[in-house]
Amino acid sequence: MDTPKSPTQAGLIIKAFAIIKLLSTHKEMSLKDIGLQTNMSSTMAYKCLSTLCDLGYAHQNPKTQQYGLTLRLASICSDILLHYNITELAFPIMQTLGDKVKETVHLAIRDHTDCIYIHKIDSHHSLRLYSQVGKLAPLHCTGLGKVLLAYENDDLIDSIIKEITLFKFTEHTITSTEEFKKHLLLVKEQGYAEDNEEHEFHIRCVAVPIFDYQNHICAALSISMPIARWSEELHVFHIKELLASAQEISHLMGSVNTH
């Protein structure tokens, strides 16, 4: 039987994961910057980093003395995704959808204040957007993120919005809290979300929810494409196909959703 971890041990684990999350978005960082951005002393940051290095999850560049993550974490994430049931259930449906629309298809889940791509089908076109399984994306300016947040309960939505920064990625990004809350109501009302160059210029996306056996949102499905190929006719077609595919995946997840 495992012995309960002391508050000190739990605190160290929390701090170590804060460092891991920070370094996941940087190739390398100095000890000082890591301490500043995680709100911990250099001594504490060094203690956590030393442990991560000893375990093989981080490394220190001998030339720059800066710290970065190793690919060992990526290996663990890959193993987790292989056993995450929804990816197995969704794969053939996503493949069929990708063959129909010939554009990039993403499957994502919410990771607290971000969304994370857990599966993708590449576009059939040579001109395609860059994305990566395991990559985090913001909730407030992506179709997937908006959907994953819009179907949560009001208290959780308010709590998450307080934690995220409505960063202005483009001139189309929503940066007002009140406007964003109203926008989420629209997303839930219409049953899909759009990203019209809100995260990246020249990219449009539409996303829909996937529900589990408790009829709770568990993932989101999207189609993304360069704006040069976008048309209103294709947009309507994509929404129709997305909703049908998402309903099929939801059914396999045990949902009897009536949203």
pTM of the full predicted structure?
0.66
What pLDDT, on the 0 to 100 scale, is given for residue 80? 61
Domain 7-70 has CATH 1.10.10.10: yes
* Beta-carbon contacts of residue 107 (< 8 Å; ≥ 6 apart): 86, 87, 90, 94, 117, 118, 119, 120, 210, 219, 220, 221
The CA–CA distances, whole Å, from 46 to 8, 29, 34 equal 16, 12, 9
Fold assignment, 76-252:
Beta-Lactamase (3.30.450)
* Per-block mean pLDDT, blocks of 10 residues, the chain (259 long): 53 88 90 93 92 92 93 72 72 92 91 87 66 78 94 91 88 89 94 88 92 88 89 90 93 74
Q: Is the dihedral of CA 131, 134, 135, 136 positive or negative?
A: positive
Cα separation, 19 vs 15, whole angstroms:
6
Domains of the chain, residue spans: 7-70, 76-252
